[in-house]
Amino acid sequence: MKFVSLTIDAIDRITDLTGRIVSWLCLVMVVMTVVVVVLRYYFQSGSIALQESITYLHGLVFMLGIAFTLQRGGHVRVDIFYRSFSPRRKALVDLIGGLVFLLPVSLLIFAFSWDYVAASWAIGETSEERSGIQGIYLLKTLLLLMPATLLLQGIAEILKSALVLMGKQPITESRIESNHIEPLI
């Protein structure tokens, strides 16, 4: 059980660090958007690379923030029945959902994205715009990083649910019982 707890803690720390870094990228994205607007409308100037970088950041935030959102219980779920369930029943639903849906879907996304991303890396895919960002293959790599991080956090969430069901983790310590979300800053 100690190994399982250490594994959960390690995965949670990685996800938490990734999520906190990604959350700061939101601020960077907002600032860059303001810069693009000011350059365009006040200085009649623009930068394709700057505009594309906002798209890249947007992709980073969503694709790398998905595991953090899972960890914090922020994904949408049909709460009609779930919210009235006991903590043990919630753990059972989360365990089954993780095993039946989350893990297989994450693996499928990873498997189906592999060739697409590999082809992009093989040709060194770049922006169609001459002055754009020359690393489209880096953006497409998020198609592999997203399911990998989601799979990792999914394993942690499944293990947490299993511990609750086995009575090895106090229910009040689990995310299942408390949807408390700490501030990121």
- The answer to pTM > 0.85 is no
Delimit the domains of the chain by residue range. Answer: 2-173
- Report which residue type is found at 135: G
Which among 72, 61, 73 is positioned nearest to 142, based on CA atoms? 61
Closest CA to 143 of 115, 184, 181: 115
Report whether pLDDT(179) > 80.
no
Question: Above 80 in pLDDT, residue 180?
Answer: no
- The phi and psi torsions of 124 (rounded to 5 degrees) equal 60, 50
pLDDT single digits (tens) 106-155: 999 999 999 999 999 999 998 888 888 888 999 999 999 999 999 999 99
